[in-house]
């Protein structure tokens, strides 16, 4: 047992050196998000999001361009509010962002954002799930759409909380009546809590623990972005100690983060799937895997069947028509 743990420690440091040489952009991005989470730097969702996507592009994107694009959208939303004289409504900014993203308006040059039904999982290109791609092509998925919404909301100082479900994300905010409102940008609708729970298979336990359906705080949202950083890294290099570091730090600040726990679980499964590994070592990894799976079960963090999710996403086509 001690020998196996020693080997794991040596492997950890060796893989760390390997990971650093493979992508400096991901290590520098980790430091940016870590500084925000640890309180060394102020929380800045827009900067954190850009940093995550820029790492995938090996730091070739320009933050000024990204920030300017967000400011332009925010200005267009302000113009929409002014034209309608909606300033008296506390949710006017939320209305304008929703309209700019989902509807053809003069302010978005009659080109609203569309759901990318062809590659919503980013299988053809992982960058198809990015906000930078959404801004450029007006095509996005269930993650980039709410992330863009939140970016613009931050610029306008409007209330908008990222909310997670199994393989899904949306925005929640308080409406004019003081009630929570679900903003579903995939279908451009405002479904009830009951509909969201039923269609995504969200259990009451997941809501109680904050795994799903929780309006995430700014720090929890940055913690989620840390797991998205790991997802991008995994897409390029696979699972290794870097993805473990991202998952561990994310869980530290959002302990019911299903994405992070799944990352760790998949990593352990990968390590155990080694035909040359001694049986007793596989037993240790198996116990680690069961611990992580029990954690997911305890928080109600069940995943949705990929085929069922694809079917649900495609049903959005008819709802929008």
The number of residues in the chain equals: 321
List Cα–Cα distances, 180 to 62, 87, 119, 191, in angstroms. 36, 21, 31, 11
Structure tokens at 86: 């909606």
Question: What's the CA dihedral at 290, 292, 298, 300 to 10 degrees?
Answer: -110
At 258 the pLDDT is 96
Least confident piece of the model among 74-83, 112-121, 140-149: 112-121
What's the whole-number average pLDDT of the chain? 89
User: Using an 8 Å Cβ cutoff, are 242 and 19 in contact?
Assistant: yes
At 272 the pLDDT is 81
Which residues fall within 8 angstroms of residue 247, CB to CB, at 6 or more apart? 227, 230, 260, 261, 263, 264, 267
| pLDDT confidence bin for 279, thresholds 50/70/90 | confident
Say how far apart CA 46 and CA 25 lie, in whole Å: 18
| pLDDT confidence bin for 271, thresholds 50/70/90 | confident
User: Using an 8 Å Cβ cutoff, are 309 and 166 in contact?
Assistant: yes
Residue 154: pLDDT over 90 = yes
Predicted TM-score of the model (pTM): 0.88
At 255 the pLDDT is 96
């Amino acid at each position: 047992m001690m020998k196996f743990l020693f080997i794991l420690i040596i492997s950890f440091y060796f893989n760390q050196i390997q990971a650093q040489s493979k992508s400096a952009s991901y290590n520098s991005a980790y430091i940016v998000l870590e500084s925000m989470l640890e309180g060394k730097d102020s929380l800045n969702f827009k900067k954190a999001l850009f940093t995550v996507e820029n790492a995938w592009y090996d730091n070739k994107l320009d933050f000024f361009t990204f920030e300017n694009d967000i400011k332009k959208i925010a200005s267009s939303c302000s113009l929409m509010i002014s034209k309608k004289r909606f300033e008296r409504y506390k949710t006017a900014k939320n209305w304008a962002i929703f309209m700019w993203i989902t509807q053809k308006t003069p302010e978005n040059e009659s080109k609203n954002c569309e759901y990318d039904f062809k590659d919503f999982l980013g299988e053809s290109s992982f960058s198809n799930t990015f906000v930078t791609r959404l801004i450029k092509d007006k095509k996005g998925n269930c993650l980039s759409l709410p992330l863009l919404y939140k970016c613009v909301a931050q610029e306008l100082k409007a209330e908008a909380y990222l909310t997670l479900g199994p393989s899904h994300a949306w925005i929640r905010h308080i409406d004019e009546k003081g009630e929570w409102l679900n903003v579903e940008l995939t279908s451009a609708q405002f479904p009830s809590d009951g509909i969201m729970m039923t269609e995504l298979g969200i259990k009451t336990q997941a809501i109680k623990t904050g795994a799903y359906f929780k309006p995430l705080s700014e720090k929890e949202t940055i913690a989620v972005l840390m797991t998205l950083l790991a997802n991008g890294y995994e897409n390029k290099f696979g699972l290794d100690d870097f993805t473990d570091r991202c998952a561990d730090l994310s869980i530290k600040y959002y302990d019911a983060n299903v994405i992070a726990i799944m990352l760790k679980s998949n990593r352990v499964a990968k390590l155990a799937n080694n035909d040359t590994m001694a049986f007793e070592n596989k037993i240790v990894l198996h116990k680690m895997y069961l611990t992580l799976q029990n954690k997911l079960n305890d928080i109600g963090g069940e995943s949705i069947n990929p085929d069922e999710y694809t079917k649900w996403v495609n049903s959005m086509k008819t709802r929008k028509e």
